[in-house]
């Protein structure tokens, strides 16, 4: 591959708008309604609280980029006491976000269904990944909680379709839209040497 073709690919990548990158940072308000006080449920035996809250997050922001959330069910939460200073949190949310196909960068809508299943503790005794430690105010910040759940459940691969053909490594053409005719065969330099010897012998 020549330097020229590498530059072409970079140019193609820059020209193709990578989804989310230019989205204006969405307003993410954390109102009082999104904080749930867990003081009672952590200390009172048999206590249980249930909440259905609208998701206020309109854009999922992470180091991977910004992904607009286009639809969401309410966040459902059931928290019940599970001993002194402990509670079990269950529930879920289903949301749709916009992202780019991992192979061709085409914008795709992806649905993510999250099921929550965590133990809430006032103070973590050991490092249990399932445990969620609360602040001194004993409040659960629902938006931050959902944000972290999205992060750990982020799909490993997002494709526009199962058999997406991606983009041509030479010219950057979306191969789902047709062949570009580029020679994408990269010969192994070791094979080239053998080929030379073979050709030489033929000449003799
Ligand atoms: Zn694709
Ligand atoms: Zn090409």
In terms of Cβ atoms closer than 10 Å to its own Cβ (0-12, 13-18, 19+), residue 86 is middle
* Spans of the chain below 70 pLDDT: 1-33, 124, 126-129, 135, 186-204
CA–CA gap between residue 43 and residue 38 (Å, rounded): 9
Q: Are residues 123 and 199 in the same domain?
A: no
CA of 60 to the centre of ligand 1 (A): 21
Is position 162 within any domain?
no
CA–CA gap between residue 81 and residue 15 (Å, rounded): 54
Q: Return the structure tokens found at 116.
A: 């929550």
Q: Are residues 124 and 191 in the same domain?
A: no
Q: Which ligand is nearest to the CA of 108?
A: 1
Q: Are residues 142 and 180 in the same domain?
A: no
Q: Are residues 200 and 172 in the same domain?
A: yes
User: The tokens 């012998």 sit on which residue?
Assistant: 201
pLDDT at 129: 63
Is position 161 within any domain?
no
User: Tens of pLDDT along 14-28?
Assistant: 334 334 333 333 334
Three-class DSSP category at 104: coil
H/E stretch holding 70 reads strand 65-72
User: Tens of pLDDT along 2-17?
Assistant: 444 444 444 444 334 3
Cα dihedral 186, 187, 189, 193, rounded to 10, equals: -160
Complete DSSP assignment for 132-162: EE--TT-EEEHHHHHHHHHHHT--S---SST
Q: Are residues 194 and 123 in the same domain?
A: no
CA of 5 to the centre of ligand 2 (A): 10
Q: Are residues 86 and 13 in the same domain?
A: yes
Is position 28 within any domain?
yes
pTM of the model: 0.70
Structural domain of residue 43, as residue ranges?
3-153
Kindly tell me the sign of the dihedral angle through the C-alpha atoms of 197, 199, 202, 203: negative
CA of 74 to the centre of ligand 2 (A): 45
């Amino acid at each position: 591959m020549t330097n020229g073709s590498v530059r072409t690919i970079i140019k193609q990548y820059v020209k193709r708008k990578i989804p989310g990158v230019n989205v204006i940072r969405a307003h993410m308000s954390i109102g009082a309604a999104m904080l749930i006080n867990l003081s009672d449920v952590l200390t009172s035996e048999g206590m249980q609280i249930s909440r259905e809250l609208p998701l206020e997050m309109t854009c999922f922001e992470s180091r991977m980029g910004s992904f607009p959330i286009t639809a969401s069910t309410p966040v459902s939460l059931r928290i019940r006491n599970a001993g002194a200073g402990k509670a079990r949190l269950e529930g879920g949310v289903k949301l749709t976000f916009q992202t780019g196909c991992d192979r061709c960068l085409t914008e795709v809508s992806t649905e993510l269904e999250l099921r929550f299943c965590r133990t809430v503790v006032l103070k973590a005794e050991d490092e249990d990944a399932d445990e969620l430690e609360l602040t001194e105010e004993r409040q659960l910040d629902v938006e931050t909680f959902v944000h972290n759940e999205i992060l750990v459940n982020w799909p490993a691969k997002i494709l526009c379709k199962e058999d997406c053909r991606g983009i041509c490594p030479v010219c950057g053409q979306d191969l789902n839209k047709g062949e570009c005719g580029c020679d994408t065969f990269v010969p192994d330099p070791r094979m080239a040497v053998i080929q030379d010897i073979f050709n030489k012998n033929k000449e003799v």
